[in-house]
Structure 1
């Protein structure tokens, strides 16, 4: 057989490019593993059995591990959400749920916050004001908040409502720059301090002589404090 007819010798290919490094490592490991299995298949089988036994022992250990129950946990009862914090409540007694408008009566809340409506004053709504209807009479409500708690009080959620007439008709809010009537309270109140703000409303002229009803809530999680009083000029 001539040299040209001889079986070609195995020629190794070019080494893989560096961008395929992960594949090279994986293929090299597979080739080495195959050779190792051919030379020592029995040892691999024994080693695999040992690994399986170890895994079973590990699983059994996890399954047999005792469950530690907190002393405060009651296994027989389903877990429940923590109770919501109680809303601060105002202190006027059962027979005195409505305070009179003036500088002598406050509504005290359990967290130390106090509410007072000091005045109800009539005013003429300007033509550039927002809110109310033609012929309505303007009412300025002066509200004072005192922070008797140990934390800074945010006034951003203070809500003031006014109703008038025999049916308690809800009054429209009025924003009037001529009377410096805006959105009421702004900012916060430091512990031990108090702040006063004015709110504008519009009521029908026929309700001017009626007793006005007010509700002030220092925040969404506070009960409303109720006041009543007559409109002054």
Structure 2
């Protein structure tokens, strides 16, 4: 039993060291462009993976939603990831972040029914996966919203910036 703990701890340590090395050296899969996209644009990473972020849509979260604060606006986006690589894309590792307003305040993700579940499983080469993602945006920050998609630990994030109509 003790040997199992040591082995698991050693593996976790190795992963942490490798991740730190990637982050410290700037290694990993970078974006094809450093410029942010606009709503509806398709942007690509250098390995052939791409993402399209729809125009945002306001919505009213249900009473059962998690991550919504009274006075804020629920906003959702449809995000499509197309796998133009030769390997399956592990969509469960993908993260989406939203910042709003001139100060770039971080926004909570809203989990409401199927919203917030993300793209499940993996996406085969040549295929796409799509899901809706929702965030709780302060009403004063709707004029400038920055949505970032990070496909996995070894990818740089891509940004889409715009207003929420």
What's the counterpart of residue 147 of structure 1? 83
TM-score by length of 1: 0.57
Pick the structure with more helix per residue.
1
Pair 1:99 & 2:37 matched: yes
What's the counterpart of residue 57 of structure 2? 121
| Inter-partner Cα distance in structure 2 for 1:229 and 1:186 | 27
Question: What pairs up with 1:77-226 in 2 under 5 angstroms?
Answer: 86-92=27-33, 97-102=35-40, 105-177=41-113, 180-208=114-142, 210-226=143-159
Pick the structure with more strand per residue.
2
| Inter-partner Cα distance in structure 2 for 1:225 and 1:110 | 12
Contact 2:92–2:118 under 8 Å retained in 1 = no
Which structure exhibits the higher relative contact order, with contacts defined as CA atoms closer than 8 Å and separated by 6 or more residues? 2
Greater Rg over alpha carbons, structure: 1
Contact 1:164–1:212 under 8 Å retained in 2 = yes
SS in 2 for 1:98: coil
| Inter-partner Cα distance in structure 2 for 1:107 and 1:88 | 14
Count residues with an aligned counterpart.
Answer: 143
TM-superposed deviation, 1:116: 1.8
| Inter-partner Cα distance in structure 2 for 1:222 and 1:200 | 22
Residues 183, 170 of structure 1: alpha-carbon distance in 2 compared, 3 angstrom cutoff:
same
| Inter-partner Cα distance in structure 2 for 1:119 and 1:143 | 10
TM-superposed deviation, 1:115: 1.6
TM-superposed deviation, 1:106: 2.1
* RMSD of aligned alpha carbons: 2.0
TM-score by length of 2: 0.80
Contact 1:120–1:229 under 8 Å retained in 2 = no
TM-superposed deviation, 1:152: 1.1
What's the counterpart of residue 60 of structure 1? none
